[in-house]
Amino acid sequence: KQEVTQIPAALSVPEGENLVLNCSFTDSAIYNLQWFRQDPGKGLTSLLLIQSSQREQTSGRLNASLDKSSGRSTLYIAASQPGDSATYLCAVYALNYGGATNKLIFGTGTLLAVQP
Amino acid sequence: GAVVSQHPSRVICKSGTSVKIECRSLDFQATTMFWYRQFPKQSLMLMATSNEGSKATYEQGVEKDKFLINHASLTLSTLTVTSAHPEDSSFYICSARDLNGHSNQPQHFGDGTRLSIL
């Protein structure tokens, strides 16, 4: 069974710091991995998508890496800002998991607080 | 970018009421839509996959008679929580994938519906 775990569960940093969020998954049979942002009481905003054949993706101050063989991904946020405060979720798109339709399996999330 | 609209954003109603939540893809066609449930401080759990013109596929443990899903067009899917009870109170989020999107394309999410059953 595919399980996705995120560490740490919560993180508080001062503004301007660079930080890394971690995501691990138990089954390397994935199509891709996505990082999302969720603000309180809101839906999800897609940040980055990494295909299974890729090693990393970058968007602005965000950089996501993928090591499929070890079942790990990291989201690097440079020069953090108070506006980055949110819950960050990673999700893997699993390949025909358990015989069912391919589906997105979410991690437990990291609650990030950037202090001004 | 692709937009998914979910309505209503918040519902408060009495126990026993049935509640319908709509999910629309505004600028693209979606053959497949997904319904998720999220409890406080927890991650998203997939409830069912909705396919246009056919029956939804429910995840294990999700009652199909309790959570009715209809996907009548390429831009609209509805989730009806029938005879809702306090334990059904949760945050429900829909997601859609573009008609031409393959597994290598991102899913687009609505803003969610906060359901509170008194």
Give the Cα separation of A78 and A80 in Å (integer): 6
Per-residue pLDDT of chain B (118 residues; tens, 9 = 90+): 668 999 999 999 999 999 999 999 998 888 889 999 998 888 899 999 988 888 899 998 999 999 999 988 889 999 999 999 999 999 999 998 876 656 566 788 999 999 999 9
Q: Are A25 and A3 in contact (CB under 8 A)?
A: yes
- Mutate which: B23, B102, B107, B108, vs A, most A CBs within 10 A: B107
Provide the phi-psi class of A96: left if phi over 0, else alpha when psi is between -120 and 50, else beta: left
Residues 6+ apart with CB under 8 A from A34: A46, A47, A48, A49, A50, A90, A91, A92, A93, A104, B106, B107
Instruction: Decide if A18 touches B, using CB distance below 8 A.
Output: no
Selecting from A41, A105, A109 the residue whose C-beta is nearest the C-beta of B114 gives: A41
Task: Return the number of CB contacts < 8 Å for A and B.
Answer: 56
Residues pairing with A47 in the sheet: none
